[in-house]
Amino acid sequence: MNAFIFPGQGAQFVGMGLDLYENHAAAQELFEDANEILGFSITDIMFEGTPEDLKQTKVTQPAIFLHSVILSQVMGDTFTPEMVAGHSLGEFSALVANGVLRFEDGLRLVSKRAQAMQKACELQPGTMAAVLGLDDAIVEKICEETSGIVVAANYNCPGQLVISGEVDAVHAACEKLKEAGARRALVLPVGGAFHSPLMQPAREELAAAIEATSFNPAVCPVYQNVTTTAVIDSGEIKDNLISQLTAPVKWTQTIQQMVKDGATRFTEVGPGKVLQGLVRKITPESETASAVIAS
């Protein structure tokens, strides 16, 4: 079965989407629509901005969403999903590609999500750290035993887990994780504690926007970060999207479930190849590929 997967924050690069804009009239129209919806020229930043400009959460999230969704729409007959999933932000791209959300509604929600997360970061500073070379259970136990708020946030692949929470708590947990034998426990250059309880204010803000948005039934099953199982019901999809901001991204478990349900080929739709690398570590026997644009 063909699974299509959509990347999240961190996959951005300067120049992203320019080839789509220059070579496809439909893509150009969607990019121009996006500039109007957002109220600023995101295309200028995507195509010609600095890496620093592109790193701002309010820019990064819509930029990756746009690249992924527009790419899915110019793939033509090569976009034949039997199941979809997205890593964190990528879940919104997956839902537009899967017919659950209209392009305009998806973009507005992603923009709202980015702004709400930025506000939450300013309200309560936090950070994240990548932990390599330890079993998930050990990482979880050390997080539980560390004073303050620190939780497992991204289960990216076996032996690679990201923790998130209060700055002091994350630093303290990193020291304990190194003592426990972690190959690395490295604090990441991020603006906040994503997928942790510190995102509760953003969750409340996003919940209101999601509840006010019309969701359609999914064309094919979507595997969501929170539950890792196949979902089609629009009400359940909404609930999971809201929970996602404060819950961990269970990417390893999601891919494993998709394989159990018949996925044999994973095509990454969006900038970069990060997800293909993770899939190869989770399920080496599965085929991976980048999106191919229709000729």
Q: For residue 288, how many other CB atoms are within 10 A of its CB?
A: 19
Residue with tokens 């969006």: 270
Q: Which of 87, 93, 195, 196 is catalytic?
A: 195
Amino acid at 127: T
The span from the CA of 51 to the CA of 101, in Å, is: 29
Pairing type for strands 83-86 and 126-132 reads: unpaired
For the question of residue 171 being annotated catalytic, the response is no
| Cα distance between residue 179 and residue 249, in whole Å | 25
| Cα separation, 120 vs 193, whole angstroms | 9
Catalytic-labelled residue, pool 24, 68, 72, 88: 88
Residue 211: how many other CB atoms lie within 10 Å: 11
Active-site residue, 88 included: yes
The residue written with tokens 């803000």 in the block is 205
The C-alpha atoms of residue 263 and residue 82 are separated, in whole angstroms, by 8
Angle at Cα 72 formed by Cα 67 and Cα 76, nearest 5°? 140
Residue 249 DSSP symbol: B
Q: Which residue do the tokens 């992924």 mark?
A: 68
Q: Which residues contact 278 (CB under 8 A, 6 or more apart)?
A: 156, 157, 160, 251, 252, 255
Q: Which residue has the tokens 């932000």?
A: 89
Residue whose C-alpha is closest to residue 160's, from 251, 34, 258:
251
- What residues pair up with 190 in beta bridges, in sequence order? none
Among all residues, which ones are annotated catalytic?
88, 195
